[in-house]
Structure 1
Amino acid sequence: MSVPSTALTSRRFTVLRQRPESGQERPSYLHRTLSLLAVLSLFQGMADAIRSHALANHKVLVLLLVLYASLVLLAVLALTVRRQRALVRVDLAVLLAGFLRFAAIFVGSVGSSQRPYQDDEGPLVTLAARALAAGGHVYGRHWPHFAQQFGVGTTPLMNGRFADTFSYPPLSALLAAPFVGSLPSWVPVLGLFAFAALSATALFMFRTLPVQLRPAATLVCFGMSWYFFYVRNGYPVFLALPFLAVAVHRWTRTGAGGVLGRRGVVSALCLGIAASAHQLGWFLAPFLLLGILLARRGELPWRGALLVTGRWAAIALGTFLLVNLPFMIRDGGAWVSGIGSVLTQHATPQGLGAIDISYYLTSGSGNLAMYSYAAALLLAATLVALLLYPRRLAPALALLPWPAFLLAPRSPETYFVLLAPLWLIAFASCPQEDYQGLRQWRPRLLADRRFRVALPALLAVPALLCLAVAVASPVPLRMDISAVRTTTAAGKGSSAVTALTVRLTNTSDAVLTPQFASSSSAWTSFDWRVESGPSMLAPGGSGSYRLIRRGNPSGGSGSTYLRVFTDDPQTLTSAVIPTGSASAAKP
């Protein structure tokens, strides 16, 4: 049943309606509260940053001290100014303070004596940009020594190797190419671009959100502490963020009346550019496309709705292909496999989702691929749910693609929180009555209320079945750790495992190629060398492996797990490495 239009004028909706105002009204308690929360969010980490720069960088120290005092003053003003127009100016000052705070801490983390990046995304994009500037191939090219060159970690794969290729759409490399050869090597070019993109997103939010919600631009973009690490390390997803923000802004009005207009064309162009920056834009695109189609079908016949939505999609796809065209011509099939490698490369499990069941709570899984199938099925089910329940789900359109990642074998927090500005933009920029005007498809089965209530759960059944198979699949290897050699970490009094003797028995029906890793936390290390043992195990076969740890591992106080991966099929077998005196014999 549709909501009566009079309900949309009720008190709980007035906060999000953009009404013409003179600016002389007294600010609401909600507006003052959000303004104060935005100021308070900027105090996070300020004290530590001031102390860390007290002797290292006096210019940064002075700026941070001035900002600290300014934030106190801005907090007072947020609660005392008498007119809404004055509070908006305070909000703008807080946004500027957030920008300067972020910039000061960013500058303080950069220097000729420091590494440009602490993660592998920035170095791989940098190497791709250098290859592009030199006229070489970008996709299909391996940089096996980039981790040592930049002093960063890597993304380990199930086959024992690590990701050493450029595996993003090309926009980040295109933007960085003119600068990577002219700036000092310690300058994080990708981090600067990411910071500029985040700042543009914050400014766009401030400009387009309803007046009372404008402090959220500072709160979300500059006040959340998790953003700094990813911005500083130049994650390519930030390059897509401002373009996705434009694409989802007032999406319910895109193509209104059957005419795209300038705003609709710009929206499609921005989606195409965002898809050329990072793959996360690909997952949002189907939901945005369906949402626009349902919005237009609410006012137009099917033909008109399909035509205007098709034009919008064609512009977005054409923009994506235009940006990628040089690489499609130059690198051919390597371009296809390159931009799709994040979906096909079989990275080791890691994240905050269902995969933790097999990674932490059980001894592994004999079918990790079922986690991927579960995620894909849940993504499709969510898209179908949007089709069937658009008026209920459309306010969360920018958030709908991401719950499916909770079932994926690799589901880090970057797939969720880094796109948080879109959640608010897509919701608050659309008039609330537009959601009730979406076309709601009602097949005959949905006429039965019991079926209509049960359908959401039924849509999730295929994904849940795949998840159950992944969790319940028995581990394919029986593991017996017969000898452990440890060493005491200097000055710490704790021991670290340096060598193992392991006997594996293949209890599955497949030929397995075991790859050995270990972990004492969420991170997996493949720093093991197999001194002896068969490379493959036939069904029912056994083998004894002597493993030597590379490098000088640091000691740890918790349990260490031996992880045995196989890539085809994708499996994981885990066991705690015993360190007691009974198992401390030398291998």
Structure 2
Amino acid sequence: MRYFFLEDASTEKRSILLIQRRAVWIAVAFILQALSTTNFTQIAPFLKPFSSLCPLPFMLASFFAIWMALRPARSRTKIHRDERKQTTPTLWQRLILITTFGFAIGGSVMLIMGVVQSFSAPQLTNDGTSLDTNAAMLLLEGRNPYTDSNMLDLARKFLPQPDWTTPLRVGQFADRLDYPTLTELRSVLDTDLKAGKAPEFESKVSYPVLSFLTLVPFTLFKNYNVLSFYILSYLALVVVAWKVARPELRPWVVLLSLANVPMWSSTIGGNLDVFYTLLIVLAWLLRDKRWISAICLGLALASKQIAWYFIPFYIIMVLRHYGFKETIYRLTMAAGVGLAVNLPFILWNPHAWLAGIMAPVADPMFPLGIGFISLSTSHVLPYFRPEVYTALEGVAMVLTLIWYWRICKKRPEAAMLFAVLPLFFAWRSLPSYFYCVAYPIFVLMSGRRTRRWLPARSSAQSSTPAQNVPLLPIPVEMGVPV
């Protein structure tokens, strides 16, 4: 227990002790998100009509747990009151730590399974990864992935299960909103394979260019199992966390990295989220270094559209810490990197590139997810027009931006949560959007006092008055810096 909760409660160690307490809330978020993936209909069959609604309360509770780990310093009166409390961990914190060890065993098993699967025949369990892998193959053949991608070719190469595809509300699925059953998906896919066309399934490469450029080395050597790339991305995030964390926090770094079962599930499933998350974490972690931070952000923007949600939060973070001029410099660099990666394909066929990039919002996909939309997919509420969900998403974005502006100086890592919260109200609110939130927050939180990288010279020489003070003001909790 002493490896996870310091026994020394001196003023010098109290800041570390507080982060260890916050790590408990991160573990609570992992547990709640793992529970959101549980099939409760097998335990309680009467819940079957509400099966799509069951994850909702657990995901909301996980957001609360993440916020408890993030919340800024409290009033001075409460600080003095807490200083008089016992410094040893409470019973519930000990129980959560023990439970986290149990989840770490599960995460370790998933890691081993993922490594084994990396050396077996490719089994791509989502069409996003299948389409990206196929795009890398097409590129090596000298063909444009944004024009020549075809779901039927994909089905013949990788033999995906019908529920590993993304159905569209056209053809045999037209004029309906309820998601097709597995039987319906299988029947329509078999029919399309015989007919030679598949309008009911998404065939476009619907991610920016870096999503499949990173897979080219695999296809170059005829290795179509790209799972190892996503596992390595996760392990790279853990290595970064280990490097930036103080020694007293490293046991938590390892434990939480293994216990993060939801993120492991997403990674083993071949989701791209872990890769763009790694880049976003580096952009925030290296925020004192203009070039590296901006380049990491630009690469994230060139890999997946969800990274675009972080742009306004990055603007606020840089503006609040470094000033307006620095914000312009970094945005220009990040936009330049993102554009440079995509530019050859934009020039190759601008219409096809734009159609692919906009497919997630422009193509008639079925409503799906564990957010607000689950109230409609479970028929608690009727389906509203897509514009309603877009409006809710916009309102949520405005509110989170205002909130982030207020706490950015004390909790810059809050962007990892606030940037994806609007997606909770989206037409498609997939669980993988939220699995890559809690652990990155802990990584950024653990590295806040680590000054392994000196501030960039260009950042420190800004002429704004704000640059006359330390670049990253350190907040105070319990009367000491954290």
**Contact 1:158/1:347 (<8 A) preserved:** yes
Q: Which residue of 2 aligns with 1:169?
A: 208
Q: Which residue of 2 aligns with 1:179?
A: 218
Q: Distance in 2 between matches of 1:423 and 1:220?
A: 12
Q: Which residue of 1 aligns with 2:328?
A: 310
Structure 1 pair 210–169 and aligned structure 2 pair: CA distance change class (3 A) = same
How far did residue 216 of structure 1 move?
Answer: 3.2
Q: Distance in 2 between matches of 1:217 and 1:311?
A: 33
Q: Which residue of 1 aligns with 2:105?
A: 43
What code does the residue aligned with 1:157 have?
A: L
Structure 1 pair 195–390 and aligned structure 2 pair: CA distance change class (3 A) = closer
**Contact 1:167/1:338 (<8 A) preserved:** yes
Q: Look up the SS of the partner of 1:362 in the other structure.
A: coil
Greater fraction of residues in helix: 2
Structure 1 pair 121–216 and aligned structure 2 pair: CA distance change class (3 A) = farther
Q: Which residue of 2 aligns with 1:406?
A: 424
How far did residue 308 of structure 1 move?
Answer: 1.4
**Contact 1:273/1:320 (<8 A) preserved:** yes
1:230 to 251, 257, 266: 266
What RMSD in Å do the two structures reach over aligned CA positions? Answer: 3.2
How far did residue 393 of structure 1 move?
Answer: 6.1
Q: Which residue of 1 aligns with 2:293?
A: 267
Structure 1 pair 12–407 and aligned structure 2 pair: CA distance change class (3 A) = farther
**Contact 1:38/1:218 (<8 A) preserved:** no
Structure 1 pair 218–393 and aligned structure 2 pair: CA distance change class (3 A) = closer
Structure 1 pair 223–388 and aligned structure 2 pair: CA distance change class (3 A) = closer
Q: Which residue of 2 aligns with 1:489?
A: none
Q: Which residue of 1 aligns with 2:155?
A: 147
Greater fraction of residues in strand: 1
What are the Cα deviations for residues 298-320 of structure 1, in whole angstroms up to 9, with x where unaligned?
xxxxxxx1111211221111111
What are the Cα deviations for residues 140-191 of structure 1, in whole angstroms up to 9, with x where unaligned?
4441312354223211223332211111111131122232153355xx12x1
- Confirm or deny that 1:108 pairs with 2:116: yes
Q: Which residue of 1 aligns with 2:302?
A: 276
**Contact 1:208/1:429 (<8 A) preserved:** yes
- Confirm or deny that 1:285 pairs with 2:347: no
Q: Which residue of 2 aligns with 1:215?
A: 251
**Contact 2:297/2:334 (<8 A) preserved:** yes
Q: Look up the SS of the partner of 1:398 in the other structure.
A: helix
How far did residue 410 of structure 1 move?
Answer: 0.9
How far did residue 366 of structure 1 move?
Answer: 4.6
Q: Distance in 1 between matches of 2:98 and 2:242?
A: 16
What code does the residue aligned with 1:346 have?
A: P
2:380 to 362, 366, 369: 362
Q: Distance in 1 between matches of 2:19 and 2:266?
A: 33
What are the Cα deviations for residues 439-466 of structure 1, in whole angstroms up to 9, with x where unaligned?
xxxxxxxxxxxxxxxxxxxxxxxxxxxx
TM-score, normalised to structure 1, is 0.53
TM alignment of 1:115-126, pairs within 5 A: 115-126=122-133
Higher relative contact order (CA 8 A, sep 6+): 2
TM-score, normalised to structure 2, is 0.64
Q: Look up the SS of the partner of 2:417 in the other structure.
A: coil
What are the Cα deviations for residues 100-135 of structure 1, in whole angstroms up to 9, with x where unaligned?
x72x322433565x5521221221011111111111
- Confirm or deny that 1:157 pairs with 2:168: yes
Q: Look up the SS of the partner of 2:399 in the other structure.
A: helix
Q: Distance in 1 between matches of 2:316 and 2:107?
A: 41
Deviates more, 1:361-370 or 1:329-338: 361-370
Q: Distance in 1 between matches of 2:104 and 2:411?
A: 32
Identity %: 23
**Contact 1:41/1:219 (<8 A) preserved:** no
**Contact 1:157/1:347 (<8 A) preserved:** yes
What code does the residue aligned with 2:298 have?
A: G
Return 5+ residue gaps in structure 1 as ranges: 1-8, 19-27, 50-100, 255-262, 297-304, 438-587
Structure 1 pair 398–407 and aligned structure 2 pair: CA distance change class (3 A) = same
**Contact 2:167/2:366 (<8 A) preserved:** yes
Structure 1 pair 272–45 and aligned structure 2 pair: CA distance change class (3 A) = closer
Q: Number of residues paired by the alignment?
A: 343
